[in-house]
Structures are given as structure tokens and as C-alpha cells.
Structure 1
């Protein structure tokens, strides 16, 4: 055991970064596999939990393709759990000096355990649309947490100061709130539409067509606000400029996919891509928000004056 602990990283090295990226990718992939379960009508492919059937832990031939898809998603939960444990192990020797990383790693690990329980509740309730929606939002939050972990890997500890004009930071937070509203209405729209996960699953009872339009309004507002942020960041040469442009690019693709699926009867593949893109949009926004500040340095005064000058 002592040899194993001695082998663990004592600094942020390649091993730490690799498992961090694996964690982010795994959390993103499980949103795709979870979407596949729902969009193929495989939500009850394994009708019980934690077993797949009352007599079997794994899927059986009688469950068919739906059982394979649902059980495959359950296996993916095991994968993200193993990767989360690797992340914890990779920063074990750094847990005191990098409490930020340690906390984020624990949040992901505990979140995965909670998500497994929520998944079981989803099955027990016959795919209640509100619980299914919560299940997706929780997965999206874990994607954001793993993105935050990646950002913090390259950030020094200690006090942090604003790296952008105050008005820019406020506008960024407003944009984040609009993104959250857009995602909330998107989840509600999907919960009211045809992709329930199973032919016998209940729906919210809301008008899905009306919700599509309501969901679009904050989506367009998000895009408009991001354009303002991108132009301002570029002209003022702010350190977040590249990430704001990346956010704008993801939003453009997301809007295109959203328009396509709305005008073509919600094809399952397009809906699945839309779900994954929503998570990537939220992750990119997380990076933008975290980049609003930089570690305080000895030349913090000069940094502050430069920010003030850019604000003028």
C-alpha cells in the first residue's frame, strides 16, 4: 500500500490531466448513452433496479435490443464511477494543498452514486418525466463540474482577482442565467414530447409544440447575449475572448440542430445530438465564468489598472 501511495502523483502531471479529461469525456458520453435509452424506447429495457430483471443482474435474450441498450447505459455508469475513483486517486497526495480539486473530485464521485439511485427511482416510477428530466440535468451538472476541474488544474491556488471589467462579468452571469432557463425549458419540452423512453411511460401533459416556441425564446436571447460578449471580449482583448468565441460556435451548432429537429418531426438522432450539445454548451459557459478571474499576483495593481483602462 505504501508503494502504491508513493507511486501516486505528488504534483499536477500528465497522469492527473489524463484522468481528468477521461472523467469529462465519460460524463459527456453517458449523456449520449442515456439519450439513446430514451430515444430508442429502451427506458424499461431492464424493468427492475438494481437488477435488470427480478432474476438476473444482466440483460437476458428475452429483453431483446431494448434490454441491451438499457443495460449498456448501466454499464456506462460503472465506467464513469471507475474513472471518478481514478481522479480521486490521482490527487490523493495533493488533497491538502489542492482542496479545490479534492472537493470537485468528491462532488463528481458522490454525484455519480446519487445519479445511480435516481436512475433506479426513474425505473421504479415507470419513467416519470419529471424524474427523467432531473436525471438529465444532474448529468449535465456533472459535466460542468468536470469541466471546472479541468480549468482548476491549470490555475494556481490562492486569492483571485477579476480579469475583466465588472460590467462584462455581470453580463456573463446574466448570460449564464439565460442558459439555465433555456436548458430548463428544453428539458420540459422533451418531457412533454414523443420521446418518453417507453410506449407506456407518462408525459407531463403540457403542450409540447407550445413549449418548443417558449424554449426557443431564451435560446435566441442566449445567442444575442453571447454575440455581445464575443464582440466586447475581442475588441477589448480580454483573456476570455477565445472561450467566448468557442461558446458562440457551440451555440450556433446547437441552434442549427434545434431548428432541424423542430422542422423534421424530432428525429431521435438529432434530439440526442441536441442533448449532448446542451451539456457541452453548459460546460463551455462554465469555463468562461471561471476565466473571469485570474490568480492575484504581485503585479495585481497593474492588472487592475489594465482592466480599468479596457473598461473605458
Structure 2
């Protein structure tokens, strides 16, 4: 009787989404997570961060922007409404994961984690406005969006896998190198966030508090981390070749290297041209693509078969962990 009162159970009784539908729903949340980062950047780069001067309403008297607020109010309010669209996509992912038979609890939890991250980031967005675009709250807002993107990528990966225990495809030192690469990239993103907080694009045409560090010096630190990440990427590629690692993993490392190179070109152009808004926006998109690419590398070094024994990860061949020839 209690089960029949569960709305998700009722949906599952009447609708059975295919595995492909669940996978596409998960991928859609990845795309929307990227879009919310880029559009959030557009709000800042157009000086529309305070287009709506309060939260959760746009003005103390109006939920929506008024005519007097002009284009800035429309841009800021549109970004807020895009969060509602994101919630719809996450909601579809939750329902699809829960309705699919057999029910995959881990996949559903990842979908719900996205919902709570969206809600927390909405509150952070409100704090950004209420604190007058304080750079620390702006940075926390961006990093929370990156956390959402991380969980979305993990759900997308899990939607293409089975539920049996994870099976490693390479030896432990190779896996550790891949996670070192992820850690270095995470630090690169954090330092890039500090660069944003110290840089000239504050999000509003009026005077806004900035992080009190030398913008050019922190930019150089950001570049140093870029070199570290590129070096680790190249090193991992050579290691995977030496141990005859999975073809899919080597391909993903190459994809990561290509994205890093493109992002490096964009970063150099934006620095040399004194940070034009359009180029900075492209760089924000690139940061999302770099993060997605680096997360996919360690995920390609293991597999999670389904009950039939199939690898499940769509492009990862089942094999024993590779061992260097010298160790055999």
C-alpha cells in the first residue's frame, strides 16, 4: 500500500524508459551544466551581475525586471530562469533513473545529488547578489557549478555501465597518475577562479570589491599550472603506451591534450588582447570542456560490468590490468 503512494513507483509502473533514454537524459544534464556556467559568465562579462538588485525577486517590488532596469535586468533575470530549465532536465534524469527497471540506486543518487547542487547553487547565486558581487561568493558560485558538472559527468558515465564491482584495467601506479592529473587540473580551475576574482571583469560597471592579489602574478601561477597539467597529460600518454593500456583511455588522453591546446591558445589570445569579453567567455566554455575531458581519463581506466559480464562502458574493452613487460 505504501509503495503505491510513492509517485516514482507509480511512474515506474506506467513508464519504462530505455537504457538509451536514461543515458541521453544524463548527457543532457552535462550539456545544461556547461550552459549554466557559460551563461553565468555572460552575466558577469556584460556587467549584468546586479541587473536584478535583490534576490529571490528581481527588485523589492517586482519578481521580474522592470523596464527601467534595461538590458542588464533582462540578462540577469534570464540567467535565473535558466536555472528552472536546468531543474527540468535534472528532474527528467531523476525520474528516468528511478523508473528504469531494474532500479539502479547508485544512478538515482547521482541524479538527486545534481538536484541538491542546483538548489545550493541557486542560494549561492542569491548571496552573490545580496553581497554586491563579492568575489569570494562569485568564486564559490562558479566552483559549485563545477561540482554540478562533475556529478553530471559521473552520472553520464554510470548510465553506460553495469552495477557489478569496478574492475581496474591498469596497474595502481597508472591509476594514481591519472588522479594526480585530475587533482592538478582541479587546482588549475581553482587558481583560474582566483584570477577571475582579481581581474577586471567584476560583473558590474560600478566599483566592485576584488580579491586583493596582483592580477598578473596570479595569472602567471595559473599558467604554471597549465604547464603542469600538460606535462602530466603527456606523461600519462607515454605510460599508457608503455603498459599497453586500454585504447579508449589513450584516446581520451589525446582528446584531453587537444582540448588543453585549444584552451591554451584562447588563454593566450585573451591575455594578449587585454581580456575582451567574447574571448573570456570562450575561455570559460573551454574550462568546462577541459574538466569534462580530464574526468573521463580515469574513468576509462576501469570498467563496471553488468550482470551479463559485458563491460557496459560502451567503449572500454574488458582486459586484465596491464603489467609492464619488465615485470612479467
TM-score where L is the length of structure 1:
0.92
Deviation, structure 1 residue 39: 0.6
For the aligned residue pairs, the C-alpha RMSD in angstroms reads 2.2
Deviation, structure 1 residue 283: 1.5
Query: 2:162 matched to 1:156?
Result: yes
Equivalent pairs, count = 309
Residue 307 of structure 1: aligned partner: 322
Q: Distance in 2 between matches of 1:143 and 1:212?
A: 24
Deviation, structure 1 residue 230: 2.2
Q: Distance in 1 between matches of 2:286 and 2:101?
A: 32
Q: Distance in 2 between matches of 1:67 and 1:170?
A: 47
Deviation, structure 1 residue 150: 1.0
Q: Distance in 2 between matches of 1:168 and 1:159?
A: 19
Residue 230 of structure 2: aligned partner: 223
Deviation, structure 1 residue 160: 1.2
> Runs ≥4 in structure 1, deviation > 4 angstroms?
1-4, 296-300, 309-312
Query: 2:123 matched to 1:113?
Result: no
Q: Distance in 1 between matches of 2:310 and 2:78?
A: 53
Deviation, structure 1 residue 237: 4.3
| Worse-matched range after superposition: 231-240 or 23-32 | 231-240
Contact 2:11–2:99, Cα closer than 8 Å, also in 1: no
Alignment match of 1:270 (pick from 272, 275, 279): 279
Residue 29 of structure 2: aligned partner: 23
Q: Distance in 1 between matches of 2:111 and 2:322?
A: 33
TM-score where L is the length of structure 2:
0.88
Deviation, structure 1 residue 231: 3.1
Deviation, structure 1 residue 119: 0.5
Residue 3 of structure 2: aligned partner: none
| Worse-matched range after superposition: 35-44 or 166-175 | 166-175
Residue 62 of structure 2: aligned partner: 56
Deviation, structure 1 residue 127: 0.6
- Structure 2 runs not aligned, ≥5 long: 1-6, 312-317
Contact 1:118–1:135, Cα closer than 8 Å, also in 2: yes
Judged with a 3 Å threshold, the aligned counterparts in structure 2 of structure 1 residues 8 and 221 are, in CA distance, closer, same or farther, namely: same
- Structure 1 runs not aligned, ≥5 long: none
Trace 1:130-279 onto structure 2 (pairs within 5 A). 130-198=136-204, 199-234=206-241, 236-238=244-246, 239-279=248-288
